[in-house]
Copies of this chain bind each other. A is one copy, B any other.
Amino acid sequence: MNKSSARTVAVVGATGAVGAEILSILEERNFPVDRVLPLASSRSAGDTVTFRGADVTVRALDGKAFRGVDLALFSAGAGVSKEYAPVAAGAGAVVIDNSSAWRMDPQVPLIVPEVNLRAMEAHRGIIANPNCSTIQLVVALNPLHVRAGITRIVVSTYQSVSGTGKDAMDELATQCRQLLNFEDVTPAVYPHQIAFNCLPHIDDFASSGATGEETKIVNETRRILGAASLGVSATAVRVPVFVGHAESVNIETDKKLSAADARAILSTAPGVRLYDDPSRALYPLPLRVAGTDAVFVGRIREDDSIDKGLNLWVVADNLRKGAALNAVQIAEALVR
A123-131, A192-200, A323-331 - interface stretch: A192-200
Whether A299 touches B197, Cβ cut-off 8 Å, given contacts A205-B279, A281-B191, A305-B152, is no
A158's partner among B205, B208, B239 (CB-CB below 8 A) is B239
Task: Determine if A54 is an interface residue (Cβ-Cβ < 8 Å).
Answer: no
Q: Is the CB of B240 within 8 A of A278?
A: no
Q: Is the CB of B197 within 8 A of A285?
A: yes
A29-37, A42-50, A228-236 - interface stretch: A228-236
Q: Is the CB of B152 within 8 A of A241?
A: no
Given the complex, which residues of B lie within 8 Å of A304, measured CB to CB?
231
**Could you write out 19 A-B pairs with CB less than 8 Å apart?**
A152-B306, A154-B305, A156-B248, A176-B180, A192-B287, A196-B240, A197-B241, A198-B285, A200-B246, A200-B298, A201-B278, A201-B281, A205-B278, A209-B278, A209-B302, A231-B305, A233-B250, A233-B303, A237-B248
Task: Determine if A301 is an interface residue (Cβ-Cβ < 8 Å).
Answer: yes
Given the complex, which residues of B lie within 8 Å of A313, measured CB to CB?
200, 235
Q: Which 5 A-B pairs have the closest CB atoms?
A: A231-B305, A209-B301, A156-B248, A156-B156, A205-B278
A201's partner among B180, B197, B199, B283 (CB-CB below 8 A) is B283
Given the complex, which residues of B lie within 8 Å of A235, measured CB to CB?
156, 248, 250, 299, 311, 313
CA distance A152 to B154 in the complex (A): 12
Task: Determine if A102 is an interface residue (Cβ-Cβ < 8 Å).
Answer: no
Q: Is the CB of A305 within 8 A of B153?
A: yes
For chain A, give the interface size range.
35 or more
The distance from the CB of A166 to the nearest CB of chain B, in whole angstroms, is 16
CA distance A210 to B299 in the complex (A): 8
Per-residue contact bits, chain A 233-266, to B (CB 8 Å; 1 contact, 0 not)? 1010101111000101010000000010000000
Closest residue on chain B to residue A208 by CB atoms? B301
CA distance A191 to B280 in the complex (A): 10
Q: Is the CB of B279 within 8 A of A309?
A: no
The distance from the CB of A154 to the nearest CB of chain B, in whole angstroms, is 5
The distance from the CB of A180 to the nearest CB of chain B, in whole angstroms, is 5
Given the complex, which residues of B lie within 8 Å of A278, measured CB to CB?
201, 205, 209, 211
CA distance A248 to B238 in the complex (A): 12
Given the complex, which residues of B lie within 8 Å of A173, measured CB to CB?
180
Whether A233 touches B201, Cβ cut-off 8 Å, given contacts A196-B242, A259-B209, is no
CA distance A211 to B233 in the complex (A): 24
Could you say which of A156, A177, A201, A311 has the most chain B C-beta atoms within 10 Å of its C-beta?
A: A156
Task: Determine if A300 is an interface residue (Cβ-Cβ < 8 Å).
Answer: yes
Per-residue contact bits, chain A 274-295, to B (CB 8 Å; 1 contact, 0 not)? 0000110101011100000000
A197's partner among B172, B205, B211, B287 (CB-CB below 8 A) is B287
Per-residue contact bits, chain A 160-200, to B (CB 8 Å; 1 contact, 0 not)? 00000000000011001100100000000001110011111
